Amino acid sequence: MKRFYSIVLCVLFTAACGLNDKPDTASLGLSAAPSPSASVLACSYTDAYAQLDPDSIRVQNQLLEFSPGVLEHETLLSASTDVVIATVCSIEGGSTYNESKQTTMTPYTYGTLSILKSVKGDLSSGQTIHFTRSGGIVPVDDYLRSLEPAQREAFASAAEKPAYIKQKVDGDIDIEVGKTYLIYLSDDEIYQARSSSYAILGHQGGLRAIRNSENLPVTPETSLSNLEAYQLTTDSWESLNLLFSD
């Protein structure tokens, strides 16, 4: 994959950022809006991104300037409606279309999560929910629609045009199917890109890998005192007991 960089200034979460123009939704290859926001379903463990040829994807990194503390636990806990320990059941694809606002926005990923444990909010073990997360892989024409006119012209003048663009925040992690995370979510409409979905907040701060300190599988019955969340900025593991209580 080829890597390029774009500079974007953003105060909080890019999931809420978008353009005002209303694209032709049929041309974006949109699927029907997902039905109910929480249900009990078996995990499919499918990854739409894994079906793409890596050589057809260009990585377009965003350099973001965040307010101090914006990716920290206290800020994300306050901004979220739900905080869960969940496994990624599927990545269904990427899009630049905001269904809620009917506008074009920066690329995001959408898929499903299986809830193992809730530490804030009304979700419960066994539920499957739809999620969106800032950053994703989209067809190059969809990506071009998400740019301002000047950026679009500069990109279009490039000699080589890839089939797909993968846009992500520089230094952010990729969400992985089958992996279990501590996830900060919001169903507030300000963050909703797709109807009946929960937005994952805070980039790498809102999606932290989870492990059992006893080297056992993470289950709904696992005590928080036995769970640790990875802290990317310090390359260390933090006990969930320090963040939450059972």
Question: pLDDT at residue 48 above 70?
Answer: yes
Closest CA to 30 of 88, 108, 87, 90: 108
pLDDT of residue 10: 41
**Segments of 121-243 assigned E as strands:** 128-134, 136-139, 164-169, 180-186, 197-200, 207-212, 227-231, 236-239
Token duo for residue 183? 């996830």
- Residue % of the chain over a pLDDT of 90: 67
> pLDDT digits over 102-134, tens only?
999 999 999 999 999 999 999 999 999 999 999
Question: pLDDT at residue 137 above 70?
Answer: yes
Q: What is the mean pLDDT of residues 170-194?
A: 94
Cα angle 8, 66, 184 (rounded to 5 degrees) comes to: 110
| 197-200 and 164-169 beta bridge pairing | unpaired
Question: pLDDT at residue 208 above 90?
Answer: yes
| Confidence band of 194 (pLDDT split at 50, 70, 90) | very high
pLDDT of residue 171: 86
pLDDT of residue 123: 97
8 A C-beta contact, residue 13 and residue 191 = yes
pLDDT of residue 52: 98
Q: How many domains does the chain have?
A: 1
Q: What is the mean pLDDT of residues 80-90?
A: 98
Average predicted confidence (pLDDT) for the chain: 85
Q: How distant, in Å, are the alpha carbons of 106, 226, 242 from that of 222? A: 37, 7, 16
Token duo for residue 207? 């999606």
pLDDT of residue 157: 75
Question: pLDDT at residue 82 above 50?
Answer: yes
Question: pLDDT at residue 3 above 50?
Answer: no
Q: Which residue has the higher pLDDT, 245 or 215?
A: 215
pLDDT of residue 155: 81
The residue range of the domain holding 173 is 2-242
pLDDT of residue 36: 39
Question: pLDDT at residue 220 above 90?
Answer: yes
Coil, helix or strand at residue 66: coil
Question: pLDDT at residue 14 above 80?
Answer: no
Question: pLDDT at residue 181 above 90?
Answer: yes
| Confidence band of 7 (pLDDT split at 50, 70, 90) | very low
CA 202 to chain centre: 9
Coil, helix or strand at residue 75: helix
pTM of the model: 0.85
